Amino acid sequence: MTSKTKNRLAVLLLGCSCFGISTVSAQESPDWSGVWAMNGGTIFDLDTKTGEGGSTTPGVREHPPYNQDFEAKYQANLDLRDAGVFPDPNSYCGIPTGYPRLMNLPDVYEFAVTDKQVWILTENGPNVLRIYTDGREHPSAADRWPTHTGDSIGHWEGDTLVFDTLSLHSSESGNTIIDRTGLILSDAAHIVTRMAINDEGLMEAQMTIEDAKALASPWVVTKRYRRLEEGSRVYDYACNENNRNPIDPNTGWTYTIGPDGQIMDINPGQ
């Protein structure tokens, strides 16, 4: 018996035992249990990556279908990254990662499926993306405001979760980015995500990103996650617990705190 079948049977039996009837329909929910880790490093869009190395390696970049304005903004961020002074909000410890970057994190994930919501839980951050699957709509424009994770509503198409996210912060304000190369979006970003376990057993999240202010055409990015061995655990991630790398607010340089509690290195930009 597959784990999915067991889940459905368990729900059916639970329904029978609670209500004393035999006609309760089984909840169709895929088995997304366990602990998952992203494949491929923290380059957000591996399909358009050029250059050798990771997101902090000078020369590495991606090629979203940016309009001219946002291509210039991205290039400016790349230049800062090449100089080692790109101001990543995550480095300050305390700001939520936001969507879609929370699909692009190291450490591990849990994908919790409940009757009326799906939660994407990231160890790094930590972050929670709540996806409402109870049939509700997005709040009206007057009743919502930009947040790090925005507002997500979704539904199931078989074993595929489809969800729609909007009302996100503008990355231009500097409080969220997508990866360390400096990818950004505007507050007009609208993302439709399709998530399912593929034939190889990998969780696959395909994000179709539209952004009338930043993109000349839809940007489709797929991230994949592997299930870790059974019994794997998720731990606290308390970024300020012992953060020995403060950022110079003026230059973006990352310092190192020595054993005496004082900054021990030299900012080459000063």
Partner 1 sequence: MKSMRDIKISEAFKQFFLLVIAGSFFVGYSAYSHHSNAMFDQQQVVEFSGTIKEFQFTNPHTWVQVMVEDDTGTTVEWSLEWGSPNNLGRQGIRPSTFPPGADVMIKTYPMKDGSPGGLFIGARFADGQTIGRWE
Interface residues toward partner 1, by CB under 8 A: 41-42, 53-54, 56, 83-86, 88, 90-91, 93, 106-108, 123-124, 180, 228, 232-239, 241-245, 247, 252-256, 258-259, 264-266, 268
| Beta carbon nearer to partner 1, 94 or 139 | 94
User: 114: which residues sit within 8 A by CB, 6+ positions away?
Assistant: none
| Beta carbon nearer to partner 1, 54 or 65 | 54
Judge whether 181 and 168 are in contact, CB under 8 Å: no
| Beta carbon nearer to partner 1, 104 or 167 | 104
b/e per residue 196-222 (b: at least 16 CB within 10 A): bbeeeebbbbbbebbbeebbeeebebe
| Beta carbon nearer to partner 1, 35 or 196 | 35
- Cβ 249 to partner 1 shortest distance, Å: 14
| Beta carbon nearer to partner 1, 21 or 235 | 235
| Beta carbon nearer to partner 1, 113 or 178 | 178
Pairing of strands 203-210, 117-122: unpaired
- Cβ 93 to partner 1 shortest distance, Å: 7
- Cβ 258 to partner 1 shortest distance, Å: 6
Tokens describing residue 43? 């380059």
- Cβ 266 to partner 1 shortest distance, Å: 4
The helix (run of H) or strand (run of E) holding residue 6 is helix 3-19
Dump the DSSP string for 51-116.
SSS-TTSTT-B----B-HHHHHHHHHHHHHHHTT----GGGGSSS---TTGGGS-SSEEEEEE-SS
- Cβ 90 to partner 1 shortest distance, Å: 5
- Cβ 14 to partner 1 shortest distance, Å: 32
How far apart, in whole angstroms, are the C-alpha atoms of residue 240 and residue 67?
37
